[in-house]
Structure 1
Amino acid sequence: MLDRTPLHIEVATPDATTVTLALSGDLDYDSVTQLAGLTLPPGHTAIDVDLSRLTFIDSSGLAALVRLQQQAADAGAVVRVVALTPHLRSLFLMTALDRLFSLPPG
């Protein structure tokens, strides 16, 4: 049996236009509803996502990030990945998600 780390999402609003989401733990089939169920404050034009403490992500987790980006775009906002692990950077490159998300220099 695999060890599982519960998903934890910290939400912060550093300014009037930005929401920061810091994800830690596992973003997978069992936890994506937490991300999908987030209600973000209205009027924000940027969502900064910190994935540096994510310990695992599966295809459901990647799909949840894509849905977040699509919902943000529909609301006139942009999703930016502001921190991620080298493993996740490789995963984003392999899956071409680096074309969808703005990634930090690395």
Structure 2
Amino acid sequence: MNEMDQILMREHHLENETLSLKAKGLFSIMLLQEPTWNFTVRNLAELSRDGIEAVGNAVRELEKAGYVERHREYSPEGHISGVRYILHRTPCQGKPAPENHQPEN
């Protein structure tokens, strides 16, 4: 771990007393992943011994707190083709996209 990595761990989320320890740890792990890493609840769960449900709950906690945004991506036929994750080092103040938003054709 280099000096920059150590500085990055002094993050806002670690000092946020409203977040659970599970959410803080998960977000720290998420920040360490490459931007091209395939962020899914299933893949995140594979990084620990916690199950999919526990990881999903932590991701929802991070969403509610403004650290994570998940945007569904749709195929041209209108089917969900994936989910795009956006991570915020400090809580996002913007209004999150509606959960079932579909792009207009």
Same fold (TM over 0.5): no
When normalised by structure 2's length, the TM-score is: 0.30
When normalised by structure 1's length, the TM-score is: 0.30
Higher helix share: 2
Whichever of the two has the greater Rg, that structure is: 2
Higher strand share: 1
